[in-house]
Amino acid sequence: PPMENLLNLDEIEQVATKQVSKKAWAYYYSASDDKFSKRFNNEVYRSILLRPRVFVDCTTCDLDTSVLGHKLGIPIYVSPAAMARLGHPSGEAGIAEACRSFGAMQVISNNASMTPEQIVKDAAPDQVFGWQLYVQIDRKKSEAMLTRINKLKAIKFIVLTLDAPVPGKREEDERNSLAGATAPIPSGVKAAERTADDTPDVNGGSGGVGQQLFAGTDPSLTWQETLPWLAKHTDLPIVLKGLQTHEDAYLASLHAPQVKGIILSNHGGRALDTAPPAVHTLLEIRKYCPEVFDKLEVHVDGGIRRGTDVVKALCLGAKAVGLGRPALWGLAAGGVDGVRRTLQILADETKTCMRLLGVESVDALGLQHINTRIVEQQ
């Protein structure tokens, strides 16, 4: 269907679900165990109520913001998600093209299905990318990647993902692999940065796509060892992804200025099931160590599907919010235009929400615009 007929992110997901291979659907859709965290990531936003003010001039509304000193057109970015070409041949470069239209930031996955060089090839001069690292047991491989990343001007920071030292138990993905070859995908779609010897084409190999991609990932990372190692191989700022407690947010703040940001995330419910949604972690940090917000930029992802979700996360102190599945579903539903449509819907909804709240700019959003009583009781 024409993309402009799709009115919300759920409709885009429904269209994408009908179009993609069973293998792609199972990998994108899946989450761990009973998928409680995946559902709750989104539901928790329904428990926060908005506090609209009246008699405020909202003739204009501006979504401009910045991340780590870089200007962005919207406070919504694309989270690192592996294997975009499973959903559409334009892959991660297609997502980059759509982001370009909005001044939106994109974090490239370590397990992207295209090389970072290919993905940033047509970057606009002011386009902002991050690159996400899964540290490999064979450190030489990660070091070689960092050397390449350091040379790409468009990549402004490294995102180190910490919430998945081992893969979660994702049953749709595993079940689909048991179904065997019933779900052919474009041949040769694989994580571009894994050499042939360590990651098979996802048509081959055993276990779900997720299990295969995790082969070779180092589960031994620590605060003491890994950040100094990283400092030896890149001068780019570090953003730690997958923090889920105020204790870890505080520890991260002790590593400023090497660490410049944190992303509160439970990996879209794909790592530890019943882990908290980012909203709970935001509230914990506000309560126990609010100084973290002065030392680090705080970002969130997981379950963002409506403009009101975006606004609530920003009111709680997030600088920007990430989209995992919605970007992949957009790509699968309509290629570059599908991702553009996803970003357009969310940007429009965010603006409408802000104007109905009586807020003209992203910086003006704050705790005064929300009521979190129900979440505090959860």
Cα angle 232-248-165, degrees, rounded to a multiple of 5? 65
Token pair recorded at residue 250: 């505080």
Q: How far is CA 184 from CA 6, 16, 112, 270, in A?
A: 28, 17, 19, 23
Ordered DSSP codes for 19-35: HS-HHHHHHHH--BTT-
Q: Are 135 and 218 in contact (CB under 8 A)?
A: yes
Of these, 65, 132, 342, 344, which contacts ligand FNR (CB under 6 A)? 132
271 DSSP assignment: S
Among 73, 75, 277, 302, contact with ligand FNR (rule: CB under 6 A): 302
CA distance 113 to 69: 29
Q: Is 267 a catalytic residue?
A: yes
Which one of 115-123, 182-190, 279-287, 298-306 is the stretch in contact with ligand FNR (CB under 6 A)?
298-306
Contact 82, 113 (CB under 8 A): yes
Active site residue 45: no
The verdict on whether 134 is a catalytic residue reads yes
Note whether 342 binds ligand FNR by CB under 6 A.
no
Q: Footprint of ligand FNR on residues 23-82 (CB under 6 A)?
A: 27-28, 41, 79-82
Select 37 or 359, whichever has its Cβ closest to ligand FNR: 37
Which of these ranges, 143-151, 195-203, 273-281, 297-305, lies near ligand FNR under the rule CB under 6 A? 297-305
Helices H / strands E in the chain, number of each:
15, 12
Total residues interacting with ligand FNR, rule: CB under 6 A: 26
**Please, are residues 114 and 92 in contact by the beta-carbon 8 Å criterion?**
yes
Per the structure block, which two tokens stand in for 369? 């615009």
Site for ligand FNR contains 111 (CB under 6 A): yes
Pick 301 or 337: Cβ nearer ligand FNR: 301
Q: Are 261 and 128 in contact (CB under 8 A)?
A: no
> Catalytic pick from 163, 173, 248, 273?
163
Q: Which of 88, 233, 246, 267 is catalytic?
A: 267
Helix axes 278-288, 36-46, angle to 10 degrees: 60
Nearest residue to ligand FNR, scored by beta-carbon proximity: 324
> Which one of the spans 165-173, 244-252, 290-298, 300-308 is the region binding ligand FNR (CB under 6 A)?
300-308
Q: Among 301, 309, 337, 349, which residue interacts with ligand FNR (rule: CB under 6 A)?
A: 301
- Residues serving a catalytic function are 134, 163, 267
Binding residues for ligand FNR, per CB under 6 A? 27-28, 41, 79-82, 109-111, 132, 161, 241, 265, 267-268, 270, 301-304, 323-326, 328
